[in-house]
Amino acid sequence: MSEQTSYVVYFLPQKIQKRRYEVMIASAKKKGLNLVSSFSDRVTHLVTDLDKWENIEKALQEKNTNRDVTVLKSEWLSRCLKEGKFSDPINSEVLQIRPVALESQDSGKKEAIVKEYACMRKTPLKSKNPDIVSALETLSENAFFHDDEARRLAFQKAAGVIKSLNFKIKNINQVKGLHDVGKHSLEVIKDIIEEGSSIEVENIINDPWFHQMKAFQSIYGVGPSKAKKWIAQNVFTIDDLIERTDLHSSFDHRMELGISFYKDLNTQVTKQHALAIKNLIQQHLEEILPGCILVLAGGFRRGKASGHDADILLTHPIEGKEIGLLPKLLNLLSDSGLVLHGTMETGHNNPQTIMKDKGKPLASNVDHFDKWIGIMKIDKNLKDLDSSDNENDLIQLEQNSLTETSIETKKGRLSKKRSFVQTLDNNEDFARDTKKKLASNSKMSFEQLLALSSKDKQWVARRVDIIVVPVSQFFYALVGWTGNKWFNRSLRLYSQRVLGLKLTSHGLFDLNRGTSLPANSEHQVFDNLKLEYIEPTDRNC
Ligand code: 8DG
Ligand code: CA
Ligand code: CA
């Protein structure tokens, strides 16, 4: 023994047969393990047969346990004793670890250990290993362009694990055996550590096809299959798309907008500008329904300084007040000349639709809120009047208390929850009229759009998502629309596989029993999920 000179181990006697416990302690001591007879701050590793933190804390008779300890199952000790040496634990022997990754304090050779689900790990915006992350994400993106969803996911998951490491990888052994880091990813990591780059990744980066795909993909309204078709038709640049009039008949209106306003829409939105857009919307709302609460979600809430759009969640502290609000808001924004284009969805947030989610793919992000996905015309000089961020509004909302838990779907009976009251007839009429009005604004031809975008204008086109959320569903929606996408995916898979519950942006549901768990804070969402709370800035998987 022992590589584990830095380990100070305390073995909890609870739940283990007394005789077995005594034998294990005696042989571990004989083999030189630094075993202590009581728990203290010195302890680095707890060994136990208990399987829950609360039981462990009870057994230790401490509330404020030093949570920096790594908790290992007694299987680790058994294995080491059998092998005659103390080696680092393998993933299945680890019960809980904090910080997320364990870096060797001595040789730099030992493995890190990460938790199985990304939603259990802290993943900050800035990685300690940016080159490796970027390489794995390039491989993932390339797989996506080639319609290879399995490879896309595999590389994305590996990138997510590396992003969560709290140390710079110096030796490939530190990441060998890590959950979700497969053979292929390991080879790439090894090349980068040892050679400074990976030939496979370099080849992709130097491939013009990859760049064209990236450029076309970044056009609003364009997906990989359309991008591929264009490349096959010898179209290589955005200018080619404008000049090749033979292709124009195959463009839909969204593509026409995306191409015309390519420059505006592909200039990153700064956080300050996004907050200013949020405030502009808030001012308009005051005229319709005072007291609404708006929160800038998406990447900005995760700490990004800029992003491709502004994701704005909108609610009212009184449940039900939000019904029919979106068409009124859009009508007013349109009258103020702030709307260039958009798609409005309304009237689907009801128990019937939510129950249909049962059959949807596990990681599906689709929700049924009233929402507008669109492009606004924002004054170039728009400044945020007060630079208020979200947090005060969130505290105000957290004080709202929520009690109801049943989703009622029987015909003829409406849920007590006002959010599920069907949209009133006059709201439906108004929504229809507004949709018509907005659609008629969208009738501009491609030529007209190109002319509009190229003239000297005082505004910029900005992608904005406005999502209207009943307050009882707000904190689930906030988690969903804060993201990121991979964090959400992991939360949903975890919740289905481990808890047997369906997590969506509307709530956490037991769809068989027709019940849901309310939450009036993000902390409560995590509590309901039996997960340790992860700050929004640590959800950048
Ligand atoms: P960026 O805009 O800064 O580039 O990144 P982002 O803010 O992380 O990405 P996003 O594409 O704007 O998505 C924000 C979050 O919203 C993301 O975690 C996924 C989540 N989301 C939902 N529902 C939907 C939906 O219907 N469409 C999209 N695109 N995103 C959704 O919860
Ligand atoms: Ca966003
Ligand atoms: Ca968005």
E strand intervals along 260-305: 269-270, 293-296
Q: What is the pLDDT of residue 99?
A: 33
Asked if 177 contacts 158 with a C-beta cutoff of 8 angstroms, the reply is no
CA 433–ligand 2 middle distance (angstroms): 29
Report whether the peptide linkage leading into residue 484 is cis, meaning its omega lies within 30 degrees of zero. Answer: yes
Residue of 370, 373, 481 best suited for mutating to test ligand 1, as the one with most atoms within 8 Å of CB: 481
C-alpha–C-alpha distance, residues 435 and 121, integer Å: 42
Asked if 201 contacts 184 with a C-beta cutoff of 8 angstroms, the reply is no
Grouping H, G, I as helix, E, B as strand and the rest as coil, residue 2 is coil
CA 327–ligand 3 middle distance (angstroms): 19
pTM, full prediction? 0.78
Backbone angles phi, psi at 370, to 5 degrees: -65, 125
Q: What is the pLDDT of residue 2?
A: 44
Q: Which atom of ligand 1 is nearest to the CA of 306?
A: 3
505 lines ligand 1 (CB under 6 A): yes
Packed helices 224-232 and 130-145: angle between N→C axes, nearest 10 degrees: 70
304 lines ligand 1 (CB under 6 A): yes
Closest C-alpha residue for ligand 1 atom 14? 298
Closest C-alpha residue for ligand 1 atom 1? 307
Question: Which CATH number is associated with domain 9-98?
Answer: 3.40.50.10190
Q: Which atom of ligand 1 is nearest to the CA of 371?
A: 26
Asked if 93 contacts 76 with a C-beta cutoff of 8 angstroms, the reply is yes
Q: What is the pLDDT of residue 401?
A: 57
Is 433 labelled a binding residue?
no
Residue of 311, 390, 488 best suited for mutating to test ligand 1, as the one with most atoms within 8 Å of CB: 311
Which of 103, 105, 164, 96 has its CA nearest to residue 132? 164
Give the N- to C-terminal CA distance of the chain in Å, as an integer: 37
C-alpha–C-alpha distance, residues 102 and 92, integer Å: 15
Which of 21, 31, 116 has its CA nearest to residue 59? 21
Is 465 labelled a binding residue?
yes
CA angle (115 as vertex; 112, 120 as ends), nearest 5: 135
CA angle (248 as vertex; 247, 250 as ends), nearest 5: 75
- Cβ < 5 A residues, ion ligand 2: 298-299, 307, 309, 311
DSSP string for 454-481:
HS--SEEEEEEEEEE--GGGHHHHHHHH
DSSP 22: H
E strand or H helix that includes residue 271: helix 271-288
Task: Tell me the average confidence (pLDDT) per consecutive run of 10 residues in the chain, 541 residues long.
Answer: 69 91 91 87 85 76 58 90 85 59 38 82 96 98 96 97 95 90 97 96 97 95 94 94 95 95 96 94 95 96 97 96 96 95 91 78 81 95 67 76 43 36 64 83 87 93 98 97 97 93 94 88 96 97 96
308 lines ligand 1 (CB under 6 A): yes
Tokens of 529: 């999920």
Tokens 């170039």 sit at which residue? Answer: 380
Q: Sheet containing 502-504: give its strands across.
A: 502-504, 507-510, 515-517
Amino acid identity, residue 267? T
Tokens of 409: 């779907």
Q: Measured between alpha carbons, how far is residue 197 from residues 187, 191, 194, 217, 260 in Å? A: 11, 6, 8, 26, 37
Asked if 366 contacts 360 with a C-beta cutoff of 8 angstroms, the reply is yes
536 lines ligand 1 (CB under 6 A): no
Closest C-alpha residue for ligand 1 atom 20? 481
C-alpha–C-alpha distance, residues 394 and 178, integer Å: 37
Amino acid identity, residue 296? L
Amino acid identity, residue 39? F
CA 485–ligand 2 middle distance (angstroms): 10
Give me the architecture of the 102-204 domain, per CATH.
Orthogonal Bundle (1.10)
Give me the architecture of the 269-409+416-475 domain, per CATH.
2-Layer Sandwich (3.30)
CA 536–ligand 1 middle distance (angstroms): 14
Q: What is the pLDDT of residue 435?
A: 85
Asked if 307 contacts 352 with a C-beta cutoff of 8 angstroms, the reply is no
Asked if 109 contacts 151 with a C-beta cutoff of 8 angstroms, the reply is no
Closest C-alpha residue for ligand 1 atom 28? 365
C-alpha–C-alpha distance, residues 473 and 494, integer Å: 20
Is 239 labelled a binding residue?
no
Asked if 486 contacts 118 with a C-beta cutoff of 8 angstroms, the reply is yes
463 contacts: CB under 8 Å, gap ≥ 6: 220, 265, 269, 308, 309, 310, 374, 375
Q: What is the pLDDT of residue 262?
A: 97
481 lines ligand 1 (CB under 6 A): yes
Residue burial 190-224, b: 16+ Cβ < 10 Å; e: rest? bbbbeeeebebbeebeeeeebebbebbeebbebee
Amino acid identity, residue 375? I
By DSSP bridging, strand 45-48 and strand 70-73 are parallel
115 lines ligand 1 (CB under 6 A): no
CA 276–ligand 2 middle distance (angstroms): 15
